[in-house]
């Protein structure tokens, strides 16, 4: 790959080096943010409680799910945070309201529904 980069114009080489540096810095920041020691906030990629797939976030983390492909101030979202022994579930406060519906004996569905 190095030989291919050297054949590019200098401005392109500089841009590729800059993007590579930014990528390395972003990956370093991600590793810093993901805790290596177990915490109360676990991201499980496998949905099977596979310990090798679990990643820990700092205990004071807020986890946000966007409910559409949009991002930004007008994008609908639901956020969860933990304080003490309680979980707090918040929504973006749009014109829709937060709904909690039972799905089974140990599962609830949380989403937004139109207001009546």
pLDDT at 47: 66
**Distance from CA of residue 30 to its chain's centroid?**
11
Please write the tens of the pLDDT for every residue from 73-94: 778 888 999 888 899 999 887 7
Across the chain, what does the average pLDDT equal? Answer: 83
Contact 55, 45 (CB under 8 A): yes
pTM passes above 0.85: no
pLDDT at 65: 87
Pair of tokens at residue 103: 């799905």
Please write the tens of the pLDDT for every residue from 14-38: 999 999 999 999 988 877 776 567 7
């Amino acid at each position: 790959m190095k030989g291919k980069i050297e054949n590019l114009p200098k401005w392109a080489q500089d841009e590729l080096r800059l993007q590579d540096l930014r990528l390395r810095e972003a990956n370093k920041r991600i590793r810093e943010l993901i805790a290596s020691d177990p915490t109360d906030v676990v991201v499980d990629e496998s949905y099977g409680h596979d310990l090798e797939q679990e990643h820990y976030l700092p205990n004071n983390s807020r986890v946000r799910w966007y409910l559409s492909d949009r991002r930004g101030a007008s994008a609908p979202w639901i956020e969860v945070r933990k304080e003490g022994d309680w979980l707090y579930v918040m929504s973006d406060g749009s014109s829709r309201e937060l709904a909690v519906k039972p799905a089974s004996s140990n599962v609830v569905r949380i989403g937004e529904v139109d207001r009546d």
